[in-house]
Amino acid sequence: MAGGEGLAALKDTHTTVSVDLPMAIGIPMEYIPDQAMRLKLYRRLADMQDEGEVQAMEDEFIDRFGAMPEAVANLFFQMRVKLRAEAGGLSSVSMEGEQIVLRYPPLPEGMTRPLANLGPGVRAGKNAYWMPAVTNGQSWRERLLNALSAIIAACQPS
């Protein structure tokens, strides 16, 4: 199989996305002291399938436990990244040096993956996108979510 043939079939195979970004994540004991409750909430987070569920749970956290510490807000951000990366068929999102790398799973021998142009500041390689972590003071978090949304849009049939 040459070119983009068969890529749709590959996208349908579910892969777990690895997200490794430079931020503290978690539910601190000071925020939710009950360990059993924290574990139950982590399980619920892990089972989320879409961003609507993430937003609903984020609202629930604020209603039940008050303003979220940074590590909890980061946890919800990471869930959004993971869900968008899964929807875009990526295998990992990580920081390598000063670059955020959005990587696809390896392709079988002889196949190529056409990567869409995601705009200025995002470089497409053979199997990944690279974008600088710092660009004109704009938040890398916002740019990352925008790049992931653009990948999802590029995956949609025209």
Topology of domain 15-155, per CATH?
Aspartate Aminotransferase, domain 1 (3.90.1150)
3-class secondary structure, 138: strand
For the stretch 42-86, pLDDT in tens is 999 999 999 999 999 999 999 999 999 999 999 999 999 999 999
Residue 7 confidence class, pLDDT cut points 50, 70, 90? very low
User: Greatest CA span in the chain, whole angstroms?
Assistant: 55
Q: Quote the CA–CA distance of 121 and 123 in Å, as a whole number.
A: 6
For the stretch 115-131, pLDDT in tens is 988 988 899 988 999 99
pLDDT at 137: 67
Identity of the residue numbered 126:
K
pLDDT at 72: 98
Q: Is the pLDDT of residue 4 over 50?
A: no
Query: Domain coordinates of the chain in residue numbers?
Result: 15-155
Residue 10 confidence class, pLDDT cut points 50, 70, 90? very low
3-class secondary structure, 47: coil
Q: Quote the CA–CA distance of 102 and 91 in Å, as a whole number.
A: 8
